[in-house]
Amino acid sequence: MGRSLGLALYLMAAARGGSEPVPARADRSEGVLVWLHLGEGAVLRSLAQLARQLGRERPDLRFLITAEGSEAPNTAGFPAGTLADVLPPDRLPALRDFLDHWRPDLALLAGASLPPALIAETHDRQIPLILADIRMTPGAAAHWRWRRGMAGSLLARFDRILAQDPETATRLRDIGGRLLQVDVAGRIEETTEPLPGNEAERAALAELLQTRPVWLAVACPAAEEEAVLAAQAHAMQLAHRMLLILVPTDPARASDLADRITRDGWTVALRSRDEEPEPEVQVFLADGESELGLWYRLSPVTFMGGTLAPGGGGRSPFEPAALGSAILHGPHPGPYPDAYARLTEARAARLVPTPAALADAVADLIAPDKAATLAHNAWAASSGGAEVTERVAEVVLSTLRARSGQAAA
């Protein structure tokens, strides 16, 4: 590992001053603790996906998460028992208090942040360091190029470096030395495990539906029901056998909704009444979320409810993506902006900015080849993110195994 005068001077400055008051912290979990830090450019939901994958592989693992800024990150989506803390400033006294308390068995820094004192102190304690999900822009590379020695010394302290793309790997070697070991792993991206579905039920319903065109409106709030029904009416002008599977946001409204739209002239079946989507049924109300995996599997096209107007909760678009259903959505992604942006970039989803646009899109996607193209792109985007997560998880687990073997020796 090369010496760096710049890093030495930085660490001298970082060591000055006494220890600051130690904030109140939760107790450290027993067992193996993996510290995940959300750095610049990383996405919290993606880090949660990685933690869940690690938890499936090693149920004994416990997790600590930190992020840039003055607040502890939200642990929603992480395995149960995940702890969060505020990352201390990049000063050695505060970092030493932090590391003395948590005693992590491994530290993974996600993103492009390279806090020098944190990296140096963690490495000095022989805690394995992994730099993952890093994308280095030309501007960031130019910044570090002026401190090449310091950057090279920091990068050499990582056990593994996993870049998002070949360009980042090249820039890292340019500032860290051509012998720097960098692997291109891809971007850790949020996906969703395929929701379960009863295969016998799916086969029976598929037999009943035969060649009928089908589309699904999921998590549909009351404010969007009329737009969805108007889209169904429009689509039926082109395909009179079209079936809409409608999953309302509030299952308690399903019975009243079925009665109301029946009075409006629709032929309706209600799942909770054990009714089936017989050939004459135009709207099948699937009240309840426990069978969403079944409806995604049966529907070549899914409209993500709660996206036409602001304030909708909605569901993750990776749910239908993982099961090969083409995705339609409105202009308001709710809590899933990154997921929709990624699917849009992959040409795996179609934006419908208005109720009229929803009607046109549903009618357009009656053509099986158009729906199939969107659905294939959605599945590819979803499965690709899962593969990267699995790859990074295996690096973490192999590094932990190596550390355990060294300790045993």
Q: Is the pLDDT of residue 385 over 90?
A: no
Amino acid identity of residue 274, one-letter, is D
Same fold, 5-188 and 199-384: yes
State pTM to two decimals.
0.72
Q: Is the pLDDT of residue 345 over 90?
A: no
Helix (H) or strand (E) holding 349: strand 349-351
Q: How long, in residues, is the chain?
A: 409
Average pLDDT over residues 189-217: 89
Q: Is the pLDDT of residue 409 over 60?
A: no
The DSSP-derived string for 169-182 is HHHHHHHH-TT---
Burial 346-376 (b: 16+ CB within 10 A, else e): bebbbebeebebbbebbbebbeeebbeebbe
CA distance 59 to 78: 13
Fold classification of 199-384 is Rossmann fold (3.40.50)
What integer pLDDT is reported at residue 367 of this predicted model? 85
What integer pLDDT is reported at residue 407 of this predicted model? 66
pLDDT category of residue 257 using cuts at 50, 70 and 90: very high
Domain chopping of the chain, boundaries: 5-188, 199-384
Asked if 62 and 33 touch (Cβ cutoff 8 Å), the reply is: yes
Asked if 282 and 232 touch (Cβ cutoff 8 Å), the reply is: yes
Q: Is the pLDDT of residue 220 over 70?
A: yes
What integer pLDDT is reported at residue 134 of this predicted model? 94
CA distance 55 to 49: 10
Q: What is the pLDDT of residues 280-308, one digit of tens each?
A: 999 999 987 789 999 999 999 999 999 99
Q: Is the pLDDT of residue 162 over 70?
A: yes
Find the Cα–Cα–Cα–Cα dihedral 263, 264, 269, 273, rounded to 10°. -30
Helix ranges restricted to H, 283-367 = 292-298, 318-322, 337-345, 355-364
Measured distance between the N- and C-terminal CA atoms of the chain, rounded to whole angstroms: 24
What integer pLDDT is reported at residue 20 of this predicted model? 65
What integer pLDDT is reported at residue 103 of this predicted model? 97
pLDDT category of residue 167 using cuts at 50, 70 and 90: very high
Using alpha carbons, list the distances in angstroms from residue 276 to 62, 114, 284, 348: 45, 58, 8, 31
Q: Is the pLDDT of residue 3 over 80?
A: no
Average pLDDT over residues 342-353: 91
Q: Is the pLDDT of residue 101 over 90?
A: yes
CA distance 40 to 78: 19
Domain at 5-188, CATH from 3.30.420.40, 3.90.1150.10, 3.40.190.10, 3.40.50.11720 = 3.40.50.11720
Query: In sequence order, what are the residues at sequence separation of 6 or more whose Cβ sits closer than 8 angstroms to the Cβ of residue 291?
Result: 197, 198, 201, 271
